[in-house]
Amino acid sequence: MSKLVLYGLDISPPVRACLLTLRALDLPFEYKIIDLLSGDHRTEEFLQKNPQHTVPLLDDDGTLIWDSHAICCYLVDKYAQSDDLYPKDLVKRAKLEQRLYFDASVLFMPLRNISVPYFYKKVSTVPQEKIDNITDAYVHLENFLDESPYLTGDTVTIADFCCGATASSLPAVLSIDPEKYPKITAWLARLGELPYYKEANANGAEQYIEILKDVFTIVE
């Protein structure tokens, strides 16, 4: 088996999605911490590997892949003994990939658009419109869980890893009300029962929330 190296840091939801996938597949890998606030992602060495200077970055014996969704798909396609985490059936895969695109464009972006200005420029005022975007994402996510325990059916997939890593971090900005969103609450609790969840995701999510808790002021 080729040597896998994942570059990232624990507070990053996309990095944690990859950590969940690696743990679920029980793959040996090296984890190299990239401190974004210290500029590790802007070094010449890192830019040669990923000119987009983002994490996560996967190095699979010289094959370089960035974007968490692409990494998770690649890992399952190449190394999984079954297709449970990323079905080969085109209809099932299309539904799963819709959830991945939802994570990238609807669920994660509101969090990124609030947290990045704070991390790099200490911007702590947040327009209500950005909070409303998170509320909209919660409503959609709740609806996706209306008919099944996981995002695409009765078994966990990489869609749950990607969306779960983001959703478990969003309370840093807007809490998930269990009365309004009982299905999201139950789904996250279900993911929390996975034997590798705490190490791969929960610890980093808790750190992320602790950093951003009570930081933001919402303005109309």
Task: Give the separation between CA 92 and CA 74, rounded to whole angstroms.
Answer: 17
Active-site residue, 82 included: no
Please report which residue ranges of the chain form alpha helices under DSSP H: 13-24, 44-49, 68-79, 90-102, 108-121, 128-144, 158-167, 182-191, 197, 203-212
Q: Which residue in 2, 12, 68, 175 is the catalytic one?
A: 12
Give one word for 125, left, alpha or beta, with left for phi > 0 and alpha for psi -120 to 50. Answer: beta
- How far is the C-alpha of 164 from the C-alpha of 188, rounded, in Å? 7
Dihedral of the CA atoms 102, 107, 110, 113 (nearest 10)? -80
Given a contact cutoff of 8 angstroms between Cβ atoms, the answer to whether 163 and 103 are in contact is yes
Catalytic residues: 12
